[in-house]
Amino acid sequence: MSRKRPTVADLRAMKGKRQLTMLRVLTMDEAEAAERAGVDIVSVPPELVLNPQYRDAAPSLFTMPGDNFYEIGTADDFVRWAFRLYKASADAVYCSAGFATVKRLADDNIPVIGHVGLIPSRATWTGGFKAVGKTADSAMQIFEAVKQYEAAGAIGAEIEVVPVEVAKAISERTSLIMLSMGAGTGCDAQYLFADDILGQNRGHMPRHSKVYRNFAAEYDRLQAERIAAFSEYVADVNSLAYPEDKHVVHMDPDQLGQFMEKIDAG
């Protein structure tokens, strides 16, 4: 049975009732797999949702394209960017810019997801790539940011690498849909990267990630097979084993004779 794509109102109504699932997917294949697996929400590169085939692959995924604020520009740039994506069937947009930009988008009826806790594009302000909110004061700063997102008109916020106790307390005290990346089950959704789940990430694995498959090894195997196939082809050409008679076409002997007479005469 096909699923209905959730609306913002649907997600708000589900707050506190069950854990939603969310993935960061990068390709059409990953989006289709998320659809078929029953994932609720996906974060995607903007170009993916702009692909006319996207909704054929992912008709029921609540889809949130996003990019770093410095890749997009000013509030005016964000509005133009968001309108194009919304028209292409995005359900919300991720925005890590300031609260004024979030308000500008919300005022134009664009559903916006913000970001609190460890924000990679702003990690220098919180001491680098590490947990945020481990002291009472820093936890209050996260709560205050959530309240500012509320006031700006955001519909939700990613909360990243924040102590589970803090994330739970905040989620219980906000109307925002809280998307947990390493912040525990006290929030409204669990958020992981497809790269980590599939074992495609060859670099640092975050603490909150969980690996379910080893695609890196499979890609290595396929690359070895690719090199072997190409090497065999080179060897066949060098030894004249390729092409064989079955790989080429022949001319009718009478037509060939006429052709040879004409080409020699020429």
What single letter denotes the amino acid at residue 31? A
Q: Which residues of 52-85 are buried (b: 16+ CB within 10 A; e: fewer)?
A: eebbebbebbbbbbbbebeebeebeebbebbeeb
Respond yes or no: is residue 165 known to be catalytic: no
Q: What is the DSSP pairing of strand 189-193 with strand 177-181?
A: parallel
90 near 49, Cβ under 8 Å?
A: yes
168 near 142, Cβ under 8 Å?
A: no
Q: What 3-state DSSP class applies to 237?
A: helix
Residue 153: CA count within 13 A, CB half-sphere = 14
For residue 252, give both structure tokens. 């009718």
Catalytic residue, candidates 30, 35, 158, 160: 160
Query: CA torsion angle for 154, 159, 164, 166 (degrees, to 10)?
Result: -50
Active-site residue numbers?
Answer: 160
